[in-house]
Amino acid sequence: MDRVGLLALARYNAYATRLVLDRAAHLPEGDWARPAGPSHGSVEQTVRHLLETEAFFVALCAGQAFVEFPGPLSLAELRGLAERVAAETEHFLTTAADADLAQPTALSLRGQTLHLPAWQLLTQIFLHATHHRGELSILMSQLGLPLPTLDILLHFIEASGQTWPSRA
C-alpha cells in the first residue's frame, strides 16, 4: 500500500474517532468510565486503547520513543490526545516516502522481534481501530447512545463534497 492509500485510511480513522468522541460527549455522567466493555472495560478505556495503539505504531515507524498516556483520562483529555495522535499520523504519512513505508521495521512482542514493512504496521492501526469502534458501537448502544454509521464510504462521499442519497 502506498502513502496515498494510507493517508486516506488515516483521515477516515481520525474522522470516525471524532464521531465516536462527539457521541460520547452525550453519555450520562458516569457512563464514560463505567466498566462495561467487551474487551477493555469502558468507553474511556477502549478509546484510550485504540489511540495508544495508533500512537505506538506511528512512533515505532517514525523511529521515535512511545510515551504511554497518563490515566485515567476525561473525555476532553482524550479528545485532545485524539487530535494530537491524528496530527502525528498525518505528519508522518505526508513526510514519509513510499520507499520508507516499504522498509522493514522491528516490532518486539513478548520477547520476540518481528520485522514487517512500515505500511503493514500502519495498516494494523486502522483495522485495529475499526475493530474497537465496532465494540464501542455495541457498548454505547447498550448505554442508550448508539453511534452514527461509521462506514468509510460515507466519509469518502463527505470528503469529496457530495452527499449520501436520501430516500424519497
Q: pLDDT over 70 for what percent of the chain?
A: 98
Place 166 in a pLDDT band, splitting at 50, 70 and 90: confident
- The angle that helices 43-62 and 3-24 make with each other, rounded to 10 degrees, is 160
Predicted structure pTM score: 0.91
Residue whose C-alpha is closest to residue 60's, from 133, 114, 99, 7: 114
Q: pLDDT over 90 for what percent of the chain?
A: 73
Domains and CATH numbers, the chain: 3-159 (1.20.120.450)
